[in-house]
Amino acid sequence: MKTCVAFFISFVMLQQLGIAQLKPSIIPQPVKLVMNKGSFQLDQGVSIKYQASQLSLKPAVDYFIASINEISGIKLSLNKPSNKTIELKIDQNLKLNTEGYELKVSDQHIQITAKGYAGIIYGFQSLLQTIPQVRTNAKLEIPYMEISDEPRFQWRGMHLDVSRHFFPPSLVKTYIDLMAAYKMNTFHWHLGDDQGWRIEIKKYPKLTSTGAWRVDQNALVWGTRPQALPGEDPSYGGFYTQEQIKEIIAYAAIRNITIVPEIEMPGHSAAAISAYPELSCSGKPQLPMTGGNYKDMSSNYCAGNDAVFHFMEDVLSEVINLFPSKFIHIGGDEVDKTDWQKCAKCQARIKKEGLKNEDELQSYFIKRIEKFINSKNRKVIGWDEILEGGLAPDAAVMSWRGEKGGIEAAKMNHFVVMTPGNPCYFDHYQAGPEGEPLAIGGFNTLKKVYDYEPIPKEINQEKQQFVLGAQANLWTEFITTSGAVEYMVLPRMLALAEVVWSPVEAKNWNDFNRRLKYHFNAFDQKGLHYSPGNFTVDIRPISKNNQLSVELLTESPEAKIYYTTDGAVPNISSNTYQQSFPITSSLTVKAITVLNGKIMNLKPAEQSFATHLAMGAEVTYKTAYSKYYPANGPNTLTDGIRGKLSHSQSWHGIDNNDLTATIDLGKSKEIKSITIGCLQNYNSWIFMPASVQFEISEDGQNFTLLSKVDNDIPLDLKAATIKDFKVMTSGKQARYIRATAQKIEGCPKGHPGEGKPAWIFADEIIVE
């Protein structure tokens, strides 16, 4: 009896193991995937079959035959008599959306059924991911299976900035190939910016003969590049001819990818202005920018000059003739409106049109362009700044400064694409940062991308239809080579692909990592650059019941964490992390990730904790802190970790409100001093509070005012600064402490946001 049970169990386990081994590594995860026993052998004898009436499928079939040939050397035949076939079928009654498909692999027969071209291409993509990507003499076995699949979102986007650095058509095609493999369908091509105009416009040849070329300062880091001097050789740059663009559009269309061109306006246009200075407010000649420095240069078109609109319409006409995309991206972001404030023509326009200010002038600009684009049967999409001063009637919004703009637009029944900086900016670090190529900043890891949910909770059921999807943006200030482009999108694009394609229930981080190995093999085989993932240990404080503990997390499902708390550099004989542990004295945690016996970090992650009486205490806010600055959660002010000069970590931010935090020490304690740290970061609209008021209480109801401490940091101080607001209490007893940081009346005079709401940032209330 015993042996019989054992035999039965091992048989079942073997069977499961067999099936598990055969399970393909398709990314994005299909909606429904059922594995069956057995496999189809792919060899020269296989013929693809489809009806002559479906001639439009021919480019998809050619693409598939070429792809199979590239991976395996096998040449499939087309519509030849054969007992082994891949059959394509168009069925309008399929209960899937227009990009959906069914794929059935069975004995001697593979069938792909779809409503149209897109579904057939996606059936092929899934099939391609079932065979080894590495050349092998072994038989190519495709497991018997049934897939029924369709995308969750219709906008599955990837953006590429070719202005900050220029990339040849071959890289653009590689980018499109990668997008296609993971069923991304929208390529947002950022064709111009301050540092280079990249699209040939027949009517304005100087846009490319002048605007596409700048002085070569590629040896210098972006932010340190000086402005070009007259007489220097503008030898760096490039552009795409209209012929090249047509070819790339066709190349993308075969892969079911729409290219959305972006023609930036009214800002980020210094390169166009260097070609045609009369388009700016000042009309002054200038050279294309070489980096981020634009002192005494014009970056904006003049909004008071009708010739600018005629120019824009001419350019857009050529763009619209080239690109079949329904959406035309007109930029609209980060317009520095100071030139407009000083320009007689702009001010005359404001007066004549009855506009209130420069924000409304920008809105006038976009609305006027929208009318033109609509007259050509196309739609406008722009960055979320186009909401300021009033959104154009039919414009779609790309939400990049968080999700706020997207939420606002969706509530107004406008279409939106979500691409919040965190986690959709792929120019940010994905690992390290030690050992990573220099990046613009941020920390958008593979798992952060994987965990992204494009529909924010603030958008109700009825308005969710306005979220078209999500997109990752690749700005290239710090990305100078084709290999670097690949590295920054691989593998994060695969995570995003699953976000925008797969239903939430089908997502699984561990299984995604299992499947990823197959794709890493494919990248190796193809010589593509990619990141192996983020192995930096996340040292995370947790407060509970007035006790602070620390939790150590790694994104790698198969890795182990080793750590120290005595200052020593951890190695594989240090403590193995098992579970969270309490912090009872001031100390420094150092931690490493170890995978297959190998330390995965150049430098351990490190976090110091400084103990004080309020550490681990509960914090309640009168007005909630911004969801964009959650730091370490609700008790960030008492987590023993002090915020540093970078405002993206450790700080709680409150927008346009006083910050009132109450701390419960759990029991009455003798208090000598109370301190709250505040941050000023002029460029990010973060300012010192006008004052901080400190109060104490024994019962949490009746508070006694201790003192009000006024700010003495000048609001026009541009360097990031931390100030400790502190009060001495001469040993008073209290259980509750309340600190109120009072907001200033708006950003100070001379600031780009003068009079507009400012942020207060606070971290760590230290009680001693």
Residues near ligand ACM, by CB under 6 A: 333-334, 383, 400
- The C-alpha atoms of residue 653 and residue 648 are separated, in whole angstroms, by 10
Comparison of 48 and 391: residue with beta carbon closer to ligand ACM: 391
Q: Which residue is nearest to ligand ACM (CB)?
A: 333
Would you say 329 and 381 are in contact if contact means Cβ atoms under 8 Å apart? yes
Rank residues 190 and 367 by Cβ distance to ligand ACM and give the closer one. 190
Residues 426 and 494: beta-carbon distance below 8 Å: no
**Distant-in-sequence contacts of 108-113, Cβ < 8 A, 24+ apart:** 108/40, 108/83, 108/84, 109/40, 109/84, 109/85, 110/40, 110/85, 110/86, 110/142, 111/86, 111/87, 112/86, 112/87, 112/88, 113/88, 113/89
Binding site partner of 297, from Zn ion, ligand ACM, none, Cβ cut-off 5-8 A by kind:
none
For tokens 């209290």, what's the residue?
734
Partner whose binding site includes residue 343, from ligand ACM, Zn ion, none (CB under 5 to 8 Å by kind): Zn ion
When CB distances are held under 5 to 8 angstroms depending on the partner's kind, the choice from Zn ion, ligand ACM, none that residue 383 binds is ligand ACM
Helices (H) and strands (E) in the chain, counts: 17, 34
Among 119, 151, 304, 677, binds Zn ion (CB under 5 A): 304
CA distance 296 to 378: 36
DSSP class of residue 81 equals -
Closest to ligand ACM by CB, 99 or 262: 262
Q: Rounded to the nearest whole angstrom, what is the least distance from the CB of residue 190 to ligand ACM in the complex? A: 9
Among 89, 173, 345, 708, binds Zn ion (CB under 5 A): 345
Q: Which residues pair with 326 in a beta bridge?
A: none
* Distance in angstroms (rounded) separating the CA atoms of residues 643 and 583: 18
Backbone angles phi, psi at 453, to 5 degrees: -120, 115
Helix (H, G, I), strand (E, B) or coil at 125: helix
CB under 5 to 8 A by kind: which of ligand ACM, Zn ion, none does 345 bind? Zn ion
By CB under 5 A, residue 589 contacts Zn ion: no
Residues 471, 497: contact at Cβ < 8 Å?
A: no
Are the C-beta atoms of 684 and 760 separated by less than 8 Å?
no
For residue 127, give both structure tokens.
């099939």
Encoded amino acid at 442, one letter = G
Q: What's the one-letter identity of residue 405?
A: G
Active site residue 268: yes
Could you tell me the end-to-end alpha-carbon distance of the chain, in angstroms, rounded to an integer?
70
DSSP 443: B
**Which one among 343, 615, 674, 696 touches Zn ion, defined by CB under 5 A?**
343
DSSP string, 494-505: HHHHHHHHS-GG
Q: How far is the CB of 425 from ligand ACM (least distance, A)?
A: 7
Partner that binds at residue 302, options Zn ion, ligand ACM, none, CB closer than 5 to 8 Å by kind: Zn ion
653, interface contact from ligand ACM, Zn ion, none, CB < 5-8 Å by kind: none
- Out of ligand ACM, Zn ion, none, what residue 400 binds, judged by CB under 5 to 8 A for its kind, is ligand ACM
Q: Based on the shown chain and the rule CB under 5 A, indicate whether residue 283 belongs to the binding site for Zn ion.
A: no
Least Å distance between CB 267 and ligand ACM?
A: 9
Which residue out of 107, 306, 334, 754 is catalytically annotated?
A: 334
C-alpha dist (Å) from residue 195 to 85, 136, 167, 216, 536: 52, 46, 14, 11, 34
Q: Which stretch binds Zn ion (CB under 5 A): 53-61, 274-282, 325-333, 556-564?
A: 274-282
Q: For residue 281, state whether it binds Zn ion (rule: CB under 5 A).
A: yes
Cβ proximity to ligand ACM: between 104 and 268 the closer is 268
Residues 6+ apart with CB under 8 A from 548: 541, 542, 582, 583, 609, 615, 616, 638, 639, 640
Rounded distance between C-alpha atoms, residue 765 and residue 237, angstroms: 51
Does position 302 interact with Zn ion (CB under 5 A)? The reply is yes
Binding region for Zn ion (CB under 5 A) out of 25-33, 298-306, 405-413, 559-567: 298-306
**CB closer to ligand ACM out of 107 and 334:** 334
Is residue 346 within the footprint of Zn ion (CB under 5 A)? Answer: yes
State the nearest-atom distance from the C-beta of 385 to ligand ACM, in Å: 8
Nearer Cβ to ligand ACM (64/400): 400
Select the binding partner of residue 281 from ligand ACM, Zn ion, none (C-beta < 5 to 8 A, by kind): Zn ion
Residues in 195-234 that interact with Zn ion by CB under 5 A: none
Looking at residue 570, what DSSP letter applies? P
Comparison of 122 and 187: residue with beta carbon closer to ligand ACM: 187
CB 287, min distance to Zn ion, A: 21
Least Å distance between CB 221 and ligand ACM? 19
Least spacing, CB of residue 391 vs ligand ACM, in Å:
16
The string of DSSP letters for 308-349 reads HHHHHHHHHHHHHHH---SEEEEE-----THHHHH-HHHHHH
The active-site residue, picked from 102, 161, 193, 695, is 193
Tell me which of Zn ion, ligand ACM, none is bound by residue 304, counting a contact when its beta carbon lies within the kind-specific cut-off of 5 to 8 angstroms: Zn ion
How many residues touch Zn ion (CB under 5 A)?
Answer: 6
Q: Which residues contact 294 (CB under 8 A, 6 or more apart)?
A: 194, 227, 270
Least distance (Å) between residue 265 CB and ligand ACM? 13
Closest separation in Å from C-beta 406 to ligand ACM: 13
Query: How far is it, in rounded angstroms, from Cα 143 to Cα 151?
Result: 23
Nearer to ligand ACM by Cβ, of 426 and 535: the residue is 426
Region from 2-10, 344-352, 480-488, 548-556 binding Zn ion, contact rule CB under 5 A: 344-352
Q: Which among Zn ion, ligand ACM, none contacts residue 333 (Cβ within 5 to 8 A by kind)? A: ligand ACM
User: Which amino acid makes up residue 660?
Assistant: T
Q: Is 447 helix (H, G, I), strand (E, B) or coil?
A: helix
- Which residue, 473 or 638, is less far from ligand ACM as judged by CB? 473
279 binds Zn ion (CB under 5 A): no
107 given a catalytic annotation:
no
334 carries an active-site annotation: yes
- Compare residues 194 and 763 and give the one whose CB is closer to ligand ACM: 194
The least distance separating ligand ACM from the CB of residue 402, rounded to whole angstroms, comes to 12
Name the site residues for Zn ion (rule: CB under 5 A): 281, 302, 304, 343, 345-346
Q: Which residues are catalytic?
A: 193, 268, 334
